[in-house]
Amino acid sequence: MDSSTQSTKVVVVDALSGDLVHSSTAPHPEGTEVWPQRWWDALRLAGGRILAQERALSITSQQHSTILLGRQGEVLRPAILWNDLRAMESGAALVRELGRDRWLRGPGLLPDSAHPVSRLRWLREHEPDLAARVETVLLPHDWLTWSLLGRREVPSTDRSDASSTGYWSIVDGDYDAELIRHSLGREVLTPEVLDPFAPAGMTAEGVLVGAGCGDNAATHLALASESGDMVISVGTSATVSMRTASPIADPTGRIDSMADARSGAIPIITMLNGARIIIATANMLGISPARLDKLAARAEPTAGGLVMLPYLDGERNPPRHAGAGALLGLSRGALTPESVARASVLGLACAIADAVDDLSSVAGEPRRILLVGGGARSRALRQAIADLTARTIHVAPEREHAAFGAARQAAWMLTGVMPRWPLILTPHRPGLGSGTWAGDVRSAHRAAGLGAPATLD
């Protein structure tokens, strides 16, 4: 099961073959605050009788979203989602107070608006009465797993989601209570961190429940990524991550060094803006995303000089407050549906290409690059990423990869062996002649992002 930002997806997979047996989904409410009960309702709706019929299951979910519980395990307020920017300054304050080295040595990241450690500081400053009542802090997969088990035992998590909190160390394999005290002013209860293949418990119906994991780790599990494999995921958000044997410290703070759902790490760059950029542009043009894809493919490679800064929902990387997107380089000749469609694709592709370069500069040149997510349906986007990165992109088959990763974890727990499921990848190579224009496009986007004029010859 994958409890993502937009919906709960349930897949039933044959443990031996990896064949899809059943799939279902249920929507989540919009917004950057959600009562966790809505996620539980969606899980029950999408899961139905499956929750009692299968032999083993595991839950993955959106990372960072913060659930606050009181003394009796009650939810104190709506969960603050990963894409909420309110704690941006709180995270920056934590970095100033303790210094970059302290954060990079411990959790391996610099806290920003998404990390629970920043939300605890924000809560302490803006909702002090409620902050005083917080006894336990969970992430969505922790809370859903605990709920599935009847909320009888101590809540549990796994190393991938624990590493996304900002107060758990991959190197030490433990929570850093000092960081929690510094942020909230006191300690709170944290979920037990289970081994990736260990069971969290058994449901009342006798179904074995796995440790679960964060959605990025689950996607790497679904792809059976190896050390050096880079994964670009374009869904609601866009992420670029690489599987490595050990964590990597990035002093710029752009890269979070999170744990995977095995024994390694997945240094990752997370951006708020993903496929919604293309969807929003299609809505503005009054066409479908599929139609936009065809328009973008027909346009001039440089979009006639149009530059779209893709920060429509604000941004984490680079930090931008809400509503900081822009469409620049307007001219009468360039203001066509084809050029606007192409500009939206290039804006997203340039952000992804920058992340690929930044991650490669720290973690090393990728062994191969795999593309997944709803955005991977766009042929124009696939080709633009290949062109702008000057690298071959391997597109994975369309499916719910995070949910498949959770299923693979459940099969691993059930059988004691990591299953080998077939995966067919489709390569997309840089187009002939892309080297003559791709560098100019990327330079124009960088200049626009820095506030300088964006021009293309």
The reported pLDDT for the residue numbered 451 is: 59
In the chain, where are the structural domains located?
2-215
Q: Which of 303, 285, 249, 301 is nearest to 431 (CA)?
A: 301
SS3 77: coil
| Percent of the chain residues past pLDDT 70, beyond the cut | 98
The reported pLDDT for the residue numbered 456 is: 44
pLDDT at 457 over 70: no
The reported pLDDT for the residue numbered 236 is: 83
Mean pLDDT computed over 61-90:
96
> What band does 436 get if pLDDT is binned at 50, 70 and 90?
very high
The reported pLDDT for the residue numbered 452 is: 40
pLDDT at 268 over 70: yes
Other CB atoms within 10 A of residue 242 CB: 27
- Angle separating helix axes 116-126 and 88-98, nearest 10 degrees: 100
Check residue 289 and report its DSSP letter. Answer: H
Which tokens in the block code for residue 457? 């010859």
CA distance between the termini of the chain = 49
pLDDT at 128 over 80: yes
3-class DSSP string for 252-287: CCCCEEEECCCCCEEEEEEECCCCHHHHHHHHHHCC
Mean pLDDT computed over 43-50:
92
The reported pLDDT for the residue numbered 313 is: 85
Active site residue 129: no
Long-range contacts of 194-199 (CB under 8 A, 24+ apart): 194/156, 194/157, 194/158, 195/158, 196/158, 196/159, 196/160, 196/261, 196/262, 196/263, 196/409, 196/412, 197/409, 197/412, 197/413, 197/416, 198/413, 199/413
Mean pLDDT computed over 39-68:
94
The reported pLDDT for the residue numbered 232 is: 98
pLDDT at 360 over 50: yes
Q: Evaluate the omega torsion of the peptide bond into residue 196 and state whether it is cis, within 30 degrees of 0.
A: no
**H-helix or E-strand spanning residue 214:** strand 213-214
Other CB atoms within 10 A of residue 309 CB: 22
Annotated catalytic residue within 158, 161, 176, 215: 215
Residue that wins the pLDDT comparison between 236 and 72: 72
The reported pLDDT for the residue numbered 169 is: 94
The CA distance from 237 to 10, in Å, is: 20
The reported pLDDT for the residue numbered 320 is: 80
The CA distance from 228 to 243, in Å, is: 6
DSSP 337-381: HHHHHHHHHHHHHHHHHHHHHHHHHHH-S-SEEEEESGGGG-HHH
Query: Among 301-315, 345-359, 438-452, which stretch is predicted with the lowest mean pLDDT?
Result: 438-452
The reported pLDDT for the residue numbered 52 is: 87
The reported pLDDT for the residue numbered 322 is: 67
Mean pLDDT computed over 164-172:
95
SS3 content of the chain, % helix, strand, coil (to 5): 40, 20, 40
Length of the chain (residues): 457
The reported pLDDT for the residue numbered 317 is: 81
The reported pLDDT for the residue numbered 316 is: 83
Q: Give the C-alpha distances (Å, rounded to integers) separating 296 from 5, 357, 382, 401, 456.
A: 27, 24, 12, 27, 18
The CA distance from 67 to 40, in Å, is: 13
Report the mean per-residue pLDDT for the chain: 94
The CA distance from 96 to 437, in Å, is: 41
Strand partners, 13: 20
The CA distance from 71 to 80, in Å, is: 19
The reported pLDDT for the residue numbered 185 is: 97
pLDDT at 455 over 60: no
pLDDT at 453 over 70: no
Mean pLDDT computed over 341-345:
97
> What band does 165 get if pLDDT is binned at 50, 70 and 90?
very high
Kindly give, in sequence order, each residue whose CB lies less than 8 Å from that of residue 39, ignoring residues fewer than 6 positions away.
3, 8, 28, 61, 140, 143, 144
> What band does 318 get if pLDDT is binned at 50, 70 and 90?
confident
> What band does 106 get if pLDDT is binned at 50, 70 and 90?
very high
pLDDT at 454 over 60: no
Q: Which of 405, 416, 436 is nearest to 57 (CA)?
A: 405
CATH of span 2-215: 3.30.420.40
The reported pLDDT for the residue numbered 324 is: 78
The reported pLDDT for the residue numbered 241 is: 97
pLDDT at 304 over 60: yes
The CA distance from 403 to 24, in Å, is: 11
